[in-house]
Amino acid sequence: MTVSKGRRATPRPRVGIPTTSIVLLALLVGGALALASVSCDSNGVQGDGGPPGDVPQGSCTGGIDKSIDISTAISLPAGEEHTGYICPTGDLDYFKVTVNAGDRLLRIELTNTAAVGTVQPTYLVLDPNEKTVAQAPSTSSKKINALHCLAPGDYYVQVQDAGNDARDGNNPYKLKVTSEKEPDANEPNNTVAEAKPAGASATGAISCTGDVDYFSITVGANQLIDIKLTTSAASPVDIKYTIVNDKDEEVGTQTFVEGTTGQANLVALHAVPAAGTYYVRVEDAGGDDSDPNMTYTLTLGTMPETDANDQGTRNDTAATATPLNAWNSTATVTGEVGSRGDVDWYVINGMTVSPTAPAVIEVTMTFSGQTDVDPSFSLIYGHAGTPCTKDACCRVLEPNGAGCVNPFSCLGKSPSCINKGDLFCTDQTCSPSAGANCSVERRCAGAAVCLPSKFCGAEYAIRSRDNGGSVRTAVLVTQPGPWYIRAGDLANDEYAHGVKYTLQVRARPDPDGAKEPDSEVFPDRCGLFAGGASGTKEPFDYHFDKAKAKGIPTIALGQTVTGFISHEGDMDFYRLPNPCPNADCVLTLTYNHGPNCPTGGGMIRRCQDPQQLSKYLGLDFFYTIRRQNGDEWTELRLAPGAAGSWGYPNQCVYSYAQHGANDYIITVHDEGDNNWSWSCNYSFSITVGAQGCAAPCVTHPVSGNCDTP
């Protein structure tokens, strides 16, 4: 229901009572009953907009309007304020407005005067064919002040409650419209077809709600787009650019998130798939803010692509991955993270891997100096349980807040945090056999990419560090592959044009052979993803649980055992039958390590303190002898390359009578869990040096049990 400012609604008769009767009654009882006849009754009379019985008598105190469609619209001169009511429920009020010749903007100001209420006034803008050409921005504010880009001509503003399910006959809304000039000389450039050549630079404005401006640029072979977007002042507009192809498909983007905080200055290089014409779309990030008084300047140019891997066919996808001959060899390549969002894909050729023939892959990514790039790489394989036809099919593997952001939440799954043997419900375009009887989707550790093998790429491990330098790992793998490496910046928002990185990759069968699967891959303590939590489960507990489940190999007293710490976090377990059941005896552990044991080079993870780990950068063999239940009993740290013995007759290392006949668990790993070697092996044997609680062990004066001095 509406009333123009200063105009009272025409009273309406009620059904079943002749109009003459109302007039006679009014003469008898005075003006009070006449006011009642002005109020809203929901008897279906044209103009009330509500269903019969919806509004009690007297609830629409402002009266009933007869504006029910565009044919009965009230004419609103520009600049004149009008007052109306949304009453009864379902009330739609129509106003005819005009965008003047030479103008392109229609400003609509709609104010809700109710301090508290259920009605939220909003509006649509219709053309003469009743097609919606604009609508109010979504807001909880009491006042809407929005600009809409419209060609000169007549339009209709339809005012209503946002949910069209509430009424307020006591508190009016206020509506005012104005026709304004377009400050952007490039208009119309709202589509790819209307794009204006940017030249060296172009100036424009986000003049109205939903305004988008397109500019074109021609890019040659092996060239990058050099883009700069600035704004003249702080503004409600969160300026954003998106580079698209001729199908309006995104190639690259960047946003100034908080326009009200200051002037934007977005600068970047962007790669494009091939030579050709591309388009830059400039807009408000949310599409709901505008500011004709704030101008932006777009500067476009090109820069040469200096990464040889990205010249010609770029290696930005798994399908165009650069092949590496790293199996039983070392492959070394150079590359660049030379533009915003640049990723380089590599694939290792010729690997022979299976659960019974595991392999190890070592990857080192090094920038020669400090840079803004946070070097990062991930190892990716095709997850056989998730077939695909397109990237969108692989979103079942994407991480979310409850997935592998904390890797410990996915322990017990496969290394990619997916239950082994799981199938996933997808749509028919992803899998012809898709159905309802599938496992719950576990959104863990996914590359969200459909590999050339038509299986989704699952990220097996991610390693990164801040601001250049070197990042490396070695991992145990049992999946057949093919195995991919994806290298780039951790957050895909930094780059260093012309600055090279070196990627060194080597792969081989695990030197520990088939016995190695008793040592599981342990997730990076910093989390598989940036910002991931460290979790609470310790490496030993995780490995020990897995080793027990698979069966820990048993060694004999006096047997020489040889093995390798062949990958990051490698932990080897051995079961030693109790050498003196239900009795005390003193043990001797004889050890030898080498050759070529690394004395440095251990990986300091991005979440760890370099000073704290500085003494643990070599391959420091760490032995523990534990009770069968995993409780620690005694331990020994040895420097790289050390040889000798530990225990009788120099140290008290004893088998304890109070342990009964229970076995002991021997564990060997790198103390920092951050170094490894494929040539430096360990070897050890355990013997009984003396029976009983022999020196240097002593008998405890109180308990009478064997003890350390």
User: What average pLDDT score do residues 38-44 get?
Assistant: 32
| pLDDT attached to residue 61 | 66
User: Which residues, 6 or more positions from 316, have their beta carbon under 8 angstroms from its beta carbon?
Assistant: 271, 273, 310, 342, 343, 344, 345
Q: Is the pLDDT of residue 43 over 90?
A: no
User: Which residues, 6 or more positions from 700, have their beta carbon under 8 angstroms from its beta carbon?
Assistant: 706, 707
E strand or H helix at 613: helix 610-613
Band (419; pLDDT cuts 50, 70, 90): very low
Band (205; pLDDT cuts 50, 70, 90): very high
- On the CB side of 323, how many CA atoms lie within 13 Å of its CA? 5
DSSP 274: S
Q: Which residues of 550-701 form beta strands (DSSP E)?
A: 561-564, 571-576, 585-594, 621-627, 632-637, 643-647, 654-655, 664-670, 681-691, 698-699
Q: In what order do the strands lie in the sheet with 296-304?
A: 201-204, 296-304, 223-231, 265-271
Q: Is the pLDDT of residue 97 over 90?
A: yes
* Residues 458, 461, 466: CA angle, nearest 5 degrees: 125
E strand or H helix at 439: none
DSSP 466: S
Rounded to whole angstroms, how far apart are CA atoms 523 and 321? 26
Rounded to whole angstroms, how far apart are CA atoms 82 and 78? 11
Give tens-digit pLDDT for 268-320: 999 999 999 999 999 999 998 999 999 999 999 999 999 999 999 999 999 99
- Look at 200 and 313; give whichever has higher pLDDT: 313
| pLDDT attached to residue 59 | 65
User: What average pLDDT score do residues 676-687 get?
Assistant: 94
Look at strands 276-284 and 212-219 and give their pairing: antiparallel
Nearest in space to 78 (alpha carbons), one of 59, 44, 101 = 101
User: Which residues, 6 or more positions from 413, have their beta carbon under 8 angstroms from its beta carbon?
Assistant: 419, 420, 442, 444
User: What average pLDDT score do residues 121-148 get?
Assistant: 92
Band (3; pLDDT cuts 50, 70, 90): very low
The pTM score is 0.77
Mean pLDDT lowest among 253-262, 370-379, 612-621, 652-661:
612-621
| pLDDT attached to residue 345 | 97
Give tens-digit pLDDT for 155-166: 999 999 998 999
Q: Is the pLDDT of residue 247 over 80?
A: yes
Give tens-digit pLDDT for 79-94: 999 999 998 888 999 9
The dihedral sign for the CA sequence 511, 512, 514, 520: negative
- Phi, psi for residue 508 in degrees, rounded to 5: -165, 165
| pLDDT attached to residue 169 | 87
